[in-house]
Structure formats: C-alpha cells, structure tokens
C-alpha cells in the first residue's frame, strides 16, 4: 500500500456513493429473484455495472480507473453487499486481489496492459487454491517450467474453488517455479494468464450451499504456454508474497461484504418483527426479540468501526496484515451470528425458502471460509503477536 492515498475527491465520491446506494435499492434488490432463479447475474446488469465503472474502482486514474483509496473501495463493497452476494462477486476479484497484485508486484508494461482491461470490465479470477493445498503453499502442485522453445513458461496443474473461473477473461495463477520448498515461499511465482490461452479449461460450476449467481469451478492447466512477460513482476519467487499482500485487500473486501450483508439481514428482521403478530401485538415488542435485534446492531457497529479503522490505516501506508485478518475474522463470524438470530426472529418462517432469512443464513456461511478461514487467520494473528513479543523480550 502506498502511503497517504487520497483517493477520489471526497465530494465526488459521496455523490457516486449516493448514486450507488440508490442503484442497489432500486435496481439490484428487485432483480434478486431473477438472479437466484437463473443462478446468474443478468447480462444487462453486468453491463450497467461496467458503465458505472465498478470493475475499475481501485485502478489508478492514470489508467482510466476511478482511483478509489482503500476506505472508499471498502465502502463501495459494503454497499454492494447489501444485496445478493453474486453482484459483489462478479467484480470483487478485479478490484480486490487482482488490481492489488498489479499494484504491488507488476511491471509497468503489465500494468499498462491489464489495468485498462479491468476498467473496461474484463473479469478476473485468482488461482491460488488447489485440490490438495490452500493456505499451505509448500503442498502446491501446479508447476511452471521454462519453455524449451523460447523465453516463456509452461504451466501444468489444477486450481480449485476459483471464483469467476467459468466466465473469467484473465487469471492470476500461482505456480511452483522450484521443485523444493524454499524459505518465504520463494518456490512460488505468479503468472498473468488470459483464460483463452490454449490448454486452459474450466470445470462445470460447482453446486454450492448459497450465493446463487456467483460461480466457482476448477481451472485445469494442461501444457499451457505463456510468454516470459506473463511472469508477474518479471521475477520468480515473488508470487506468493504478491498473493498474500493482495489477500489483505481481499480480506477487507470479505469483511466489508459480511458487514453489509449482516445489515441487510438485520433490516429484514426488524421489518418482519414489526409485521408479525403474536398474542395480539407485533413480536418486536417482546423483549427477547429486542435483545436479538440489539445484539445484532451492536456487533454490526463494531464491524463498521473496525472497517473504518483498518482502511484508514491502509490509506496511511501502515502494514495492515494483522488488522485486515482480524477485521475479516470478526466481521465474518459476526455475520454468521446475525443471520442465525434473524432466522430465530422469523421463527418457523425462517426455515422456509420463500422467506429471505433462510437465504441469508446459507449465503453468509462462506464468509468464514474464503480468503483464509477463521482458523488459519487465528494462527496468522497469533504468530505475529508471538513474533512481536519475542522481538521485544528476546
């Protein structure tokens, strides 16, 4: 993260954010039923999102993007996540991990090539997880070997659970460039790979618990030849570091999304509690219902405060690895508790698919898993705490 990122002019951003909020409420919420029924975001809405510049919000202005700073970017993600998660999913890899990897690690030529593609709405995916490895890069099986016919590389392997893979235009693929595991994961490099490159195929989209309209699938790489310029940053051994740095951004995105979706679920519960009557009065007047509503409001506020803090720190150029992880863990776990209470407020209706509460419950579950599970992030946070203690007391 560069220090002191001013982002878009504050007044301009507030106007854009107001317009976006209106778009979410008036256009995206009414289209949710169609998204869920068809398991796809309508092409017309994707085009509208492109026209609004959503696919390039974090791309620097000199490359045609909106140049939002991290605080503004998180607010956009939070607002877009008030609706069905598929809407965020379609552009989130572009503006989160992919744009962040370009910023942190790409050559100038790579930025000049790929930033404008993100702005025009080409869809990106991020290929880290494999059938046998996720956070454990030492177990990564995908390989990149020197192409004997030139200066390029040949990629082989399989990536799993890759968001947007079925319709992505470009992928950032992590692959081993060394057989042996090296310190600081220097055996892993990153490659910018157009998805129409010969040898690349994707599996059929996986059937999921929730998040209808958001698609994940395997990516199979079978002797995929890429030029030398595809190596992110032009150097081997840096890929995993770039990936981890961009995951800070991805974790802020997931935290912001979980917080926005929790707010949607709570708003739904408040409306239902005022409409549903028992013993002759709205259930909203019952104190145990009120306790569930109040606990949810308290926790959402805490997550919103964490989001404001971690994004401000990122914009000041601070190292946010621990705080981004902490925000993601808290927000995703909080969202899980909120949607569970919302089902309870709905009572029997909360278990029926015709009411929103059941969908909120299913959709929210993934937030505690992707971009680092709660448990992996607990380990990461603790490792840094212990390392700092040792440095101070060693």
DSSP 3-state assignment of 289?
Answer: helix
272 plus 382 within the same structural domain: yes
Structural contact between residues 84 and 212, judged by C-beta atoms closer than 8 angstroms: yes
Question: In which domain, by residue range, is 264 found?
Answer: 241-393
CA distance 199 to 171: 14
Model confidence at 390: pLDDT above 90: yes
107 plus 86 within the same structural domain: yes
pLDDT band at 181 (very low <50, low <70, confident <90, very high): confident
Model confidence at 341: pLDDT above 50: yes
249 plus 202 within the same structural domain: no
260 plus 353 within the same structural domain: yes
For residue 43, give the CATH number of its domain: 1.10.540.10
253 plus 330 within the same structural domain: yes
Structural contact between residues 252 and 332, judged by C-beta atoms closer than 8 angstroms: no
Q: What is the pLDDT of residue 179?
A: 86
46 plus 155 within the same structural domain: no
Q: What is the pLDDT of residue 149?
A: 83
Helices (H) and strands (E) in the chain, counts: 12, 9
CA distance 216 to 89: 10
Is 51 annotated in the active site?
A: no
What is the average pLDDT value for the chain, to the nearest integer?
93
327 plus 371 within the same structural domain: yes
**Tokens linked to 127:** 């290929």
- Is 2 part of any domain? no
- Is 4 part of any domain? no
Q: What is the pLDDT of residue 1?
A: 40
Domain stop point among 238, 259, 294: 238
Q: What is the pLDDT of residue 245?
A: 80
**Tokens linked to 354:** 């015709």
Q: What is the pLDDT of residue 96?
A: 84
Query: Facing residues of 272 across strands?
Result: none
Write out pLDDT tens, residues 112-148: 999 999 999 999 999 999 998 877 777 889 999 999 8
135 plus 87 within the same structural domain: no
Domain stop point among 238, 258, 291: 238
183 plus 54 within the same structural domain: no
Catalytic position from the list 358, 371, 388, 390:
371
Q: Which of 118, 45, 57, 138 is nearest to 87 (CA)?
A: 45
Beta strands in 58-112 (DSSP E): none
DSSP 3-state assignment of 175?
Answer: strand
Q: What is the pLDDT of residue 231?
A: 95
Domain stop point among 238, 258, 285: 238
User: What number is the average pLDDT over the span 196-210?
Assistant: 94
Q: Which of 22, 11, 89, 95 is nearest to 53 (CA)?
A: 95
- Is 131 part of any domain? yes
CA distance 138 to 140: 6
- Is 96 part of any domain? yes
Model confidence at 7: pLDDT above 90: no
The pTM of the full predicted model, rounded to 2 decimals, is 0.93
Crossing angle for the helix pair 321-346 and 287-315, to the nearest 10 degrees: 160
How many structural domains is the chain composed of? 3
- Is 271 part of any domain? yes
119 plus 129 within the same structural domain: no
118 plus 176 within the same structural domain: no
Q: What is the pLDDT of residue 2?
A: 44
What Rg value do the Cα atoms of the chain yield, rounded? 21
């Amino acid at each position: 993260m560069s220090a002191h990122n001013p982002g878009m002019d504050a007044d301009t951003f507030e106007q854009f954010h107001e317009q976006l909020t209106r778009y979410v409420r008036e256009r995206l919420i009414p289209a949710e039923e169609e998204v869920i029924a068809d398991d796809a975001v309508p092409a017309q809405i994707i085009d509208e999102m492109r026209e609004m510049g959503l696919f390039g919000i974090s791309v620097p202005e000199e490359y045609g993007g909106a140049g939002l700073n991290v605080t503004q970017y998180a607010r956009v993600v939070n607002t877009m996540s008030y609706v069905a998660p598929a809407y965020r999913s379609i552009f989130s890899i572009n503006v989160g991990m992919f744009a962040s990897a370009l910023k942190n690690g790409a050559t100038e030529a790579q930025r000049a090539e790929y930033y404008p593609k993100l702005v025009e709405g080409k869809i990106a995916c991020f290929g880290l997880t494999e059938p046998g490895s996720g956070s454990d890069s030492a177990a990564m099986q995908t390989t990149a070997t020197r192409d004997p016919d030139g200066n390029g590389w040949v990629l082989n392997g399989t990536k799993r659970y890759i968001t947007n893979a079925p319709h992505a235009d470009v992928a950032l693929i992590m692959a081993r460039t060394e057989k042996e595991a090296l310190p600081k994961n220097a055996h892993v490099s990153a490659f910018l790979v157009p998805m129409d490159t010969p040898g690349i195929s994707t599996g059929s989209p996986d059937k999921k618990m929730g998040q209808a309209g958001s698609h994940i699938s395997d990516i199979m790489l079978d002797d995929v030849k890429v030029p030398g310029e595809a190596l992110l940053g032009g150097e081997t051994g840096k890929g995993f570091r770039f990936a981890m740095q961009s995951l800070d951004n991805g974790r802020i995105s997931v935290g912001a999304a979980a917080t926005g979706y929790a707010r949607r679920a709570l708003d739904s519960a408040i409306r239902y509690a005022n409409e549903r009557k028992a013993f002759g009065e709205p259930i909203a007047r019952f104190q145990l219902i009120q306790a569930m509503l109040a606990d949810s409001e308290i926790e959402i506020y805490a997550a919103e405060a964490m989001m404001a803090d971690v994004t401000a720190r990122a914009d000041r150029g601070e190292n946010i690895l621990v705080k981004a992880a902490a925000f993601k863990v808290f927000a995703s776990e909080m969202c899980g508790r909120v949607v569970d209470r919302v089902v309870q407020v709905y009572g029997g209706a909360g278990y029926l698919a015709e009411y929103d509460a059941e969908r909120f419950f299913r959709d929210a579950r993934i937030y505690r898993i992707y971009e680092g599970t709660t448990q992996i992030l607990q380990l990461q946070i603790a490792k840094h705490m212990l390392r700092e203690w040792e440095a101070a007391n060693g």
